[in-house]
Amino acid sequence: GKIDPVVGRDPEIRQIVDILMRRRQNNPILTGEAGVGKTAVVEGFALRIAQGDVPPTLQNVSVRMLDVGLMQAGASVKGEFEKRLKAVIDEVQASETPIILFIDEAHTLIGAGGAAGTGDAANLLKPALARGELRTIAATTWAEYKQHIEKDPALTRRFQVVKIDEPSEAVAVLMLRGVAGVLEQHHKVQILDEAIEAAVSLSHRYIPARQLPDKAVSLLDTACARVAVSQHATPAEVEDILRRRQALEVEQGIIGREAAIGIDVADRQARVDAGLAETETALAAAQARWDREKALVAEILDLRAKLRGEGVPLDEAAAEESAGTESGDSAAKAPERKAAESKAGDARAAEA
């Protein structure tokens, strides 16, 4: 339940399973640009283990993450880091439940612990990796793999490369549909399918420095957060008007103090008074529009809850609903939906 659904990475997950099933050199290393979903692929593999959708050899296997940075923390004494890493390796090998270690940012192994004086973490892992006693899934960017790991032929032989490429827009849309339900539940908003497609196409067009699906998920998450905030926070238009009024009131106070000592402030006073009157008018109009929109939103949410729920608790109905669509409604509910939408449309027209 803590891992988001992983969609569109079945070939890569099958390749990881094939490598882990080998007797020797059974250590996949995932390479790809930042944001393409290397960690998500490992999470998808962990989900398959939890669901039992793996060969018998990999069933009941525990996937654990090895945090190299945490192991280095405080290991300033010579040999302390190597002692910690050796203890982890021994515990993994002695565990009754088979353990697969996941090492994110695997290039940090090169040189880790070298300051202690007896080589780095990679050299300590090599013997266990070569004998197949320690199964490891590593992940790093292609550039870091070229710069650090590929230069060590002995370490390269122990890992089998799994390339994680940036998905196409069509596959990225499928991936976002898989996580849309999680975003809806977190932000308490509804995500339409057109919003998912727009997030993928627009992020791919205007954010070239980042990779799909990360940039599309980030864009959709930000949009959902803003919609959720807008349902409860004061609109930006009202806040701007309040700030302008506050600034004019401050200026009015300054003008009053200057007038008390005999300075001619008639022109400035007239300008500030006119500005305050204009601001009050704009604030009243914006506040009334905001109140109408809040009433409409509340009515629409109530109608939507009734259409989806029909006696079922709202949380269960939201969990069963597909992301961004109303596909869970049966054909028998269509007349009720049309009537509700007509009622909402009449309400908008009447209040407009």
Mean pLDDT of 111-134: 67
Average pLDDT for the chain: 81
pLDDT of residue 59: 86
* 175, 220 contact by CB (below 8 A): no
Measured between alpha carbons, how far is 293 from 298 in angstroms, rounded to an integer? 9
Q: Do residues 117 and 214 share a domain?
A: no
Place of tokens 């692929």: 41
Q: Into how many domains does the chain fold?
A: 3
Q: CATH number, domain at 61?
A: 3.40.50.300
Write out the residue range of the structural domain in which residue 131 sits: 10-163
pLDDT at 8 over 60: yes
Mean pLDDT of 13-24: 89
Is 85 buried (19+), middle (13-18) or exposed (0-12) by CB count in 10 A? buried
Mean pLDDT of 46-64: 88
pLDDT band per the 50, 70, 90 thresholds, residue 334? very low
pLDDT of residue 88: 86
Asked, for residue 4, whether it belongs to a domain, the answer is no
pLDDT of residue 305: 80
Percent pLDDT > 70 in the chain is 84
The predicted-structure confidence for 269-310, as pLDDT tens digits, reads as follows 889 889 999 999 999 999 999 889 888 888 888 888 888 774
- State which of 163, 187, 215 marks the end of a domain: 163
Mean pLDDT of 175-199: 91
Q: What angle do CA 280, 283, 287 make, to 5 degrees?
A: 140
Q: Do residues 32 and 125 share a domain?
A: yes
Asked, for residue 49, whether it belongs to a domain, the answer is yes
* 250, 212 contact by CB (below 8 A): no
pLDDT at 315 over 80: no
Measured between alpha carbons, how far is 32 from 166 in angstroms, rounded to an integer? 8
Asked, for residue 1, whether it belongs to a domain, the answer is no
pTM: 0.69
Asked, for residue 2, whether it belongs to a domain, the answer is no
Asked, for residue 66, whether it belongs to a domain, the answer is yes
- State which of 140, 163, 186 marks the end of a domain: 163
Residue 173: both structure tokens together: 């849309």
pLDDT of residue 340: 44
Q: Do residues 155 and 185 share a domain?
A: no
pLDDT of residue 218: 93
Asked, for residue 267, whether it belongs to a domain, the answer is yes
The predicted-structure confidence for 97-107, as pLDDT tens digits, reads as follows 888 989 888 88
Q: If phi over 0 gives left and psi between -120 and 50 gives alpha, with beta otherwise, what is residue 70? A: alpha
Comparing 271 with 111, which gets the higher pLDDT?
271
Q: Do residues 159 and 17 share a domain?
A: yes
Give the Å distances, CA to CA, from 188 to 185, 227, 301, 306. 5, 9, 11, 16
Q: Do residues 159 and 249 share a domain?
A: no
Mean pLDDT of 148-164: 86
Q: CATH number, domain at 175?
A: 1.10.8.60
Asked, for residue 81, whether it belongs to a domain, the answer is yes
Q: Do residues 208 and 283 share a domain?
A: no
* 143, 107 contact by CB (below 8 A): no
Comparing 151 with 40, which gets the higher pLDDT?
40
pLDDT band per the 50, 70, 90 thresholds, residue 339? very low
pLDDT of residue 111: 61
- State which of 117, 135, 163 marks the end of a domain: 163
Q: Do residues 110 and 146 share a domain?
A: yes
Q: Do residues 297 and 215 share a domain?
A: no
pLDDT at 49 over 60: yes
Q: Do residues 144 and 198 share a domain?
A: no
pLDDT of residue 41: 92
Q: Do residues 50 and 153 share a domain?
A: yes
The predicted-structure confidence for 205-258, as pLDDT tens digits, reads as follows 999 989 899 999 999 999 999 988 887 788 888 889 999 999 989 988 888 888
The predicted-structure confidence for 28-44, as pLDDT tens digits, reads as follows 999 999 889 899 999 99
Asked, for residue 5, whether it belongs to a domain, the answer is no
Q: Do residues 256 and 337 share a domain?
A: yes
Q: Do residues 212 and 251 share a domain?
A: no
Percent pLDDT > 90 in the chain is 25
3-state secondary structure of 266: helix
